[in-house]
Amino acid sequence: MPDVPQTDPGAGYRAARAAIDAAIRRVLDGGHYILGPEVEAFERAFAAYLGCGHAVGVASGTDALVLALRALRPAPEDYVVTVSHTAVATVAAIELAGARPLLVDIDPATMTLDPAQLARALAAAPGRVAAIVPVHLYGQAADLPAILALARRHGARVIEDCAQCHGAMLGGRRLGGFGDLAAFSFYPTKNLGAIGDGGMVVTEDAALAATLRELREYGWRERYVSATTGANSRLDALQAAILGAKLGGLDTDNAARQAVAAQYDAGLAARDLVLPARRADATHVFHQYVVRHKRRDALREALRQAGIGTGIHYPVPVHLQPAYAGRIAMAPGGLAESERAAAEVLSLPIYPQLAPDMVQRVIAAANGALARL
């Protein structure tokens, strides 16, 4: 374990221990452990926080993407556009939903879906594009106005991948309320993290929400009778109660992440180190603080020797991973920016409880290492 870990979900539990322990006791005493009132209460609270009409709790962030896609009923020959510089779950979900991924390159500054590349991909798509999945990467919005305009022009639906952007905003609105659907993950390291797995799909469309509630539980409209084929993907009551206990502190936690990011911005001095870009009309919530350097691996090793934990999000673009290489459709022009990012990105320590003196230790170690590279 490094002296300064890259992330520390245990610190999040300790900071909210009393509220979380009380929520767990309430569920255990109540005796209702799958779906039920705790899940319904958290669904209402999360929808209200986002300003969305409906929220449907599911078992994981991956399931949230799969079920959101399945709710749109893509045909097996349909394509779903997304990026290769993302967690593999984004692309895996498309195939699990029965559609075909079509990968588009990223904007090099924000490392999110490049609308110019998306426009070219849509014009040259090898088949019908049923949906576009922009990934709000590292806590910052993709270029939704441009993406939504292109989607409308080409008759595609939009599912926001919000796994890393709980509480982030664009133009004064919370992410998750722009597309037809949005998928959230509550993996323990997320800005709003469970103590286990969990996910949520949000939408303004009541019919889609009803479809999602069927899909998450065997296609049931009445118990034990499947009206359609569904899955077993239910948010359990313990995780819902824990998430409900933590939701009220999400904005405070995000502000703490932003304060850590501001310290890094001010303290990291090397000219050849690329710091995170911000959209002028967006609020970045820094799920990750990701820098870029052409000698990333050497920098990472120097930080390791100094007791500083780091991460790489993500080391291999999806289209180059063994399970996908050579068989996934790519947009014209290739994915050069995605490949370049994978070779250069490095995630520095960031979580709400990271103390200022620890941040300064990271800065000093990074500046010292960069001076020697």
Q: Are residues 28 and 154 in the same domain?
A: yes
pLDDT at 141: 98
Average pLDDT over residues 310-318: 98
What confidence score (pLDDT) does residue 42 get? 98
Quick: pLDDT tens for 92-109: 999 999 999 999 999 999
Same domain, 303 and 344: yes
Of 1 and 283, the one with more pLDDT: 283
Residues 263 and 155 in one domain: no
**Do residues 182 and 149 both lie within one domain?**
yes
Is the domain of 145 the same as that of 22? yes
- At residue 270, the pLDDT reads 82
Which single residue is written with the structure tokens 């390159």? 105
In a domain, 1, yes or no: no
Which pLDDT tens digit goes with each residue over 284-296? 999 999 999 999 9
Domain boundary among the residues 201, 219, 247 is at: 247
Residue 69 to residue 180: CA distance in whole angstroms: 10
Per-residue b or e along 356-371, where b marks 16 or more CB atoms closer than 10 Å to that residue's CB = eebbebbbebbeebbe
Whether residue 304 contacts residue 2, with contact meaning beta carbons closer than 8 Å, is answered with: yes
Does 85 map to a domain?
yes
Is the confidence at residue 271, as pLDDT, over 90?
A: no
In tens, the pLDDT along 109-160 reads: 999 999 999 999 999 999 999 999 999 999 999 999 999 999 999 999 999 9
Q: What is the mean pLDDT of residues 298-312?
A: 98
pLDDT of residue 1 exceeding 90, the answer is: no
Predicted pLDDT at 26: 97
Mean pLDDT, the chain, rounded, equals: 97
Q: What is the CATH number of the domain that holds 333?
A: 3.90.1150.10
What pLDDT score does 243 carry? 98
